[in-house]
Structure 1
Amino acid sequence: MGSERRERMKALGARLRGLRAEAGLTGAALAQRAGVGQPTVSKVENGRMVPSIDVLDRLSGALGLDELTASEVRDLLAAVETASDVDQPVGGATPAGLTVDEEVRSARLVRSFQCVVLPAVLQSAEYARHVFESAPGVTPETVGRSVAARVERQSVLYEPGRESVFVLTEAVLRTWPGSPALMLAQFDRLLAVESLSTVRIGVIPWRRPVPVLPRHGFTLCDRRAVVVETFDGERVSVDSGELASYEETFGCFEQAAVFGGEARELLLHVMKEFRDLGGAVTP
């Protein structure tokens, strides 16, 4: 990203980190008080994420800032948002896609809806590689680190005490990068994960009308935050009204989806089509 914007993000993060130290709080304690994920606190303090005004106000409230200091940090955020430099990739920058990974890591209940790309924690390493390589300005080294981080964070699916619900449109299963062989390996992973007692995977078949026209994917983390995914980035919101809206929307998609045996049958059907497609394109 441009140097001016980067420096302003660092200044905001450093100020918040200093205020947290003055308050005698750890990052985890601040996150809990503010009702946000600990990864969010860490990324903001290290200048790697621009918080929404709602997240900033929650952090300010949790820190017990007086009106003058709260106004100061809001001004620092405004300075970041008005930076004139055009964002440019820098060495070691993290591609879009890891914010949702980190938020999921800190949640006990995850509900994710996707209409184009598979949910992050369900992606095979090769599928994830194609996702990260599609981001502008990335390097092979950055992609490699991002894929490794994503695969490592997928261990949350196997941790006791967690619940994960994924709802996909059938279009997700048929929107494929790479090759049919890549997708066959990806379907093997989906079938393995679907068998876990802590995971539910639902698919909205193309023969069913969607209850709401999907515009983008999103992931609800517990009942405290939603990660909204856009074409070139992600936005974390803890606004109660926005959370309620996304929870209602997820419920509509969940009711339209098939689960269990029906979902598994659909996965196997599409998998067979990829197997046939692979045979058709093999020289």
Structure 2
Amino acid sequence: MGSERRERMQALGVRLRELRTRAGLTGAVLAQRAGVGQPTVSKVENGRMVPSADVLGRLSRALGLDDATTREVRDLLALVEAASDMVEGPEDAMSVGAALDDAVRSARLVRSFQCVVLPAMLQSAEYARHVFESSPDSTPEAVGRAVADRVERQSLLYEPGRESVFVLTEAVLRTWPGNPALMLAQFDRLLAVESLSTVRLGVIPWRRAVPVMPRHGFTLCDRRAVVVEGFRGEQVVDDSAEIAMYEHTFARFEEAAIFGVEVRELLLRVMREFQELEHSATR
């Protein structure tokens, strides 16, 4: 990360902390009032993350600022824009997941479609490590932080009042990094998550034609944003027409997927195939 970008992010964090202290709030209370995770507030205040416009708005309202024309909000917005405009370095490339992190934390309904890689919220730590290590210019330190952040965010799956719907193609289950043992642990996690009352996990079997040719993964956060995932990071889209298009596309994928008992049977069947692979590898 460039020194100028780091300085501006730190300045943003200092400003937010000043406003929070002036309002007499702890970081935990501010996060609760804003509907974001406490780690998000901590990362922003410590200069480790630039909040999205949506998160900044939530924090501003939770701090009791009257409107977006006040000096405090103008200063925050200027700092955010200045920090976001700086050229990203190699370590910034490892911040894939930051935009998704903001959007998911503040959403009550999350719908994610994936056609190659498992959704971030379902990845085991070792699976996530392989994902981040494949990023250009990755470093062991940046990978370690990224994995820890991803695992920490997954606690949202267990929170009452949230709903998460994941739809995968069967190809996701059969596109694997590392070794069969890693995937066996990953399937254990998928089976555990599938049983949660807050989660619906669906898979489009390879024997079924897909209703739309998938080009990339995406995650809908409530009905206000969609995070489109690419090789270098994510793009947050808040245009209503674009969101409506992604919602329609997700509904078509969801309609083609199997759920419940059928999806558990499929997971167990593919898991047995990985067990056979592991057995073959140890002969």
Contact 1:184-1:271 within 8 A present in 2 as well: yes
Shift of 1:281: 2.9
> What is the match of residue 2 of structure 1?
2
Residue 94 (structure 1) shift: 6.1
Aligned-partner residue type, residue 274 of structure 1: F
Number of aligned positions between the proteins: 280
Return the offset for 1:266: 1.9
Equivalent in the alignment of 2:249? 249
**Hey, what does 1:192 align to over in structure 2?**
192
* Structure 2 CA distance for partners of 1:106 and 1:279, relative to 1, 3 Å: same
1:259–1:58 Cα change, 3 Å: same
Query: Which residue does the alignment assign to 1:88?
Result: 90
Query: Is 2:69 the counterpart of 1:66?
Result: yes
- CA shift, 1:172, in A, is 0.8
- Cα distance in 1 for partners of 2:204, 2:47 equals 39
Aligned partners of 1:56, 1:149: CA distance in 2, in Å? Answer: 20
Select between 185-194 and 241-250 the one with higher mean Cα deviation.
241-250
Partner of 1:203: 203
Q: Equivalent residue of 1:176, what SS?
A: coil
Q: How far 1:232 sits from its partner (Å)?
A: 1.7
Change (3 A) 1:27 1:223: farther
Tell me the secondary structure at the aligned position of residue 89 of structure 1.
helix
Name the SS for the 2:129 alignment partner: helix
Structure 2 residue runs without a partner (length 5+)? none
User: Is 5-14 or 40-49 further displaced after alignment?
Assistant: 40-49
Deviations 1:41-67 (CA, angstroms, capped at 9, x unpaired): 665555444456677688789941328
Distance change in 2, residues 1:244/1:154 (3 Å): same
Residue identity in the other structure for 1:168: L
Farther off after superposition, 118-127 or 19-28: 19-28
**For 1:139-171, what per-residue CA distance to the aligned partner results, in whole angstroms no more than 9, with x for missing partners?**
434434443443343333333333221101111
For residues 58 and 104 of structure 2, the distance between their equivalents in structure 1, rounded to whole angstroms, comes to: 20
Q: Aligned-pair distance for 1:120? A: 1.9
Question: Aligned residue for 1:264?
Answer: 264
Structure 2 residue 213 is the aligned partner of structure 1 residue 213: yes
**Residues 240 and 145 (structure 1), Cα distance of their counterparts in 2 relative to 1, 3 Å cut:** same
CA deviation after TM superposition for structure 1 residue 27, in Å? 7.2
Question: How far apart are residue 32 of structure 1 and its match?
Answer: 8.9
Matched, 1:228 2:231: no
TM-score w.r.t. the length of structure 2 is 0.76
Q: Indicate conservation of the 8 Å contact 1:101/1:120, yes or no.
A: no
Taking the aligned partners of 1:40 and 1:227, their CA distance within structure 2 comes to 17
Q: Which amino acid aligns with 1:107?
A: A
1:39–1:103 CA contact under 8 A, matched in 2: no
Secondary structure, aligned partner of 1:188: helix
Contact 1:95/1:132, CA 8 A, preserved across alignment: no
In structure 1, C-alpha distance between the alignment counterparts of 2:163 and 2:5, rounded to whole Å: 38
Deviations 1:109-137 (A, max 9, x none): 22111122111222222212222322344
Classify the secondary structure of the residue corresponding to 2:164: strand
Q: Do 2:129 and 2:147's aligned partners in 1 also have CA atoms closer than 8 Å? A: yes
Please list, as runs of the form range in 1=range in 2, the aligned pairs for 1:1-283 lying within 5 A after superposition: 1-12=1-12, 14=14, 43=43, 46-50=46-50, 63=65, 64-66=67-69, 76-83=79-86, 85=87, 87-89=89-91, 95-101=95-101, 103-283=103-283
With normalisation by structure 1, the TM-score equals 0.76
Higher mean C-alpha displacement, 112-121 vs 150-159: 150-159
Q: CA shift at 1:173, angstroms?
A: 0.5
CA root-mean-square deviation: 3.7
Unaligned runs of 5+ in 1: none
What amino acid sits opposite 1:66 in the alignment? T
Report how far residue 254 of structure 1 moved. Answer: 0.9
Q: CA deviation at 1:175?
A: 0.9
Letter in 1 for 2:269: H
